[in-house]
Amino acid sequence: MNDPDFIYWRHPTVPGIKVEEVTGGDIYKGEVWREMALQVYCENGREAYREVGHYPNGAPFLYGEASRISITHCEGLLAVATLPPTPEVELSSFSQRAAMGIDAERRNRAQVLKVRGRFLSEDELSLADADDVEANVLAWTVKEAAYKAMLSPGLDFRKDIRIVKMPVPGPAVPVFRGADFGLPDNVKEIPEEFFGEVRVGGEILKVWSYLSDDFIVTLCYSPRCAKFGKTGV
């Protein structure tokens, strides 16, 4: 049964990836909060209750669905990203057609400053000032989202996942309008400067980040992955 203390929101994103967010439920804590938030997500399917399973490599999937999903949760937020159905590929292993990962974290999580040297290489440390909490949180979500997109357990964040370009977080809007990004209305396409880029081995992944209240939400995906249209959610 849906809990009125939780807030459920489903929306498209600028790259064409559907994201469903669950927030609230402050009376719950820890694993209880996560389980309750996941229950709210499962009950908000379009036609029926959705059940989440996991492949042996830990990647989540929806029973009976051919759509790639990725899940993230932190204190106060659970988010699930979904691509359109891709029955032509095996979702339990990496495919450019279904490569996508999501991660989220609170913008003010200062603890990340203490461990930045564990997930950023020497070259990447210059991408985020040592005392800039939000920039380092953003870098962390980029690495986590890329790790999930690759479906390859054991990747080393410092050695195997390389941030080539950091994204510029935008607002949590479903489609691009220049005014929402502080750009002139006559700008009809999102500038590439807002997107980031990650390299993992021979794969190049794009990165899109947006701000949702107190959270940074990051999507990492193959440029060749399946995408929804502007209203196809």
What mean pLDDT do residues 72-81 have?
A: 96
What mean pLDDT do residues 29-38 have?
A: 95
**Is residue 80 scored above 70 in pLDDT?**
yes
- What pLDDT does residue 92 have? 94
The percent of residues above 90 in pLDDT, for the chain, comes to 92
**pLDDT tens, 160-187?**
999 999 999 999 999 999 999 999 989 9
Task: Please state whether beta strands 18-24 and 196-200 pair in parallel, antiparallel, or not at all (unpaired).
Answer: unpaired
- What pLDDT does residue 232 have? 52
Contact 216, 209 (CB under 8 A): yes
- What pLDDT does residue 3 have? 66
Mean pLDDT of the chain: 94
- What pLDDT does residue 46 have? 79
Nearest to 6 by CA among 19, 20, 17, 18: 20
Q: What is the dihedral of CA 186, 188, 194, 195, to 10 degrees?
A: -170
**36-42 own/partner pairs: CB under 8 Å, 24+ apart:** 36/3, 36/6, 37/6, 37/73, 37/78, 38/73, 38/78, 39/3, 40/2, 40/3, 40/6, 40/8, 41/8, 41/78, 41/80
The percent of residues above 70 in pLDDT, for the chain, comes to 97
- What pLDDT does residue 47 have? 81
- What pLDDT does residue 233 have? 57
- What pLDDT does residue 229 have? 85
**pLDDT tens, 111-162?**
999 999 999 999 999 999 999 999 999 999 999 999 999 999 999 999 999 9
Distances (CA, A) of 42 to 16, 38, 153, 159, 207: 22, 6, 26, 36, 27
Q: Rounded to two decimals, what is the model's pTM?
A: 0.96
Nearest to 4 by CA among 35, 40, 30: 40
**Is residue 89 scored above 60 in pLDDT?**
yes
- What pLDDT does residue 88 have? 97
Domain ranges of the chain: 6-221
